[in-house]
Amino acid sequence: MAQVVLMPTAESNVEQIFEYFASSSVQRSAHKITELTNKLSILEHAPLLGRPLPTGQRELLIGDRRHTYAVRYQYDQARDTVFVLSIRSSSQNVS
């Protein structure tokens, strides 16, 4: 089972997501973060689940129709570790 590690940018992204939902409801925000964390745990069992990107990274889309997030990550097979690089709303521009 792979270890999933949030890199600093991804941690910052999670904080931004929390703040976005907290503006309307702290309870809803906590629920969204729990939901996001649960979805990320899928990568523990299936680290190659996301679609491959030309950069060598992978991308996994999670969420629902209203709030879909693109999770970019790098899987280090030698360490059996998934490094989550960023978590962005699919409505954000990704560079």
95 in a domain, yes or no? no
The residue range of the domain holding 35 is 3-89
Question: Structure tokens of 37?
Answer: 């964390």
Q: pLDDT > 70: what percent of the chain?
A: 95
Tell me, what CATH number does 39's domain have? Answer: 3.30.2310.20
d(CA 31, CA 4): 20
Q: What are the distances in angstroms from CA 89 to CA 9, 37, 55, 95?
A: 14, 15, 20, 13
43 in a domain, yes or no? yes
8 in a domain, yes or no? yes
94 in a domain, yes or no? no
Tell me: the pLDDT tens digits for 21-59? 888 888 888 888 898 999 999 999 999 999 999 999 999
Considering its fold, how many domains does the chain have in total? 1
Tell whether the model's pLDDT for residue 87 goes beyond 60.
Answer: yes
61 in a domain, yes or no? yes
Q: Look at residue 61 and give its three-state secondary structure.
A: strand
Pairing of β 81-89 and β 3-6: parallel
Give the angle subtended at the CA of 46 by the CAs of 58 and 9, to the nearest 5°. Answer: 45
> Could you give the maximum distance between any two Cα atoms of the chain, in Å?
43
79 in a domain, yes or no? yes
Residues 2/74, Cβ–Cβ less than 8 Å: no
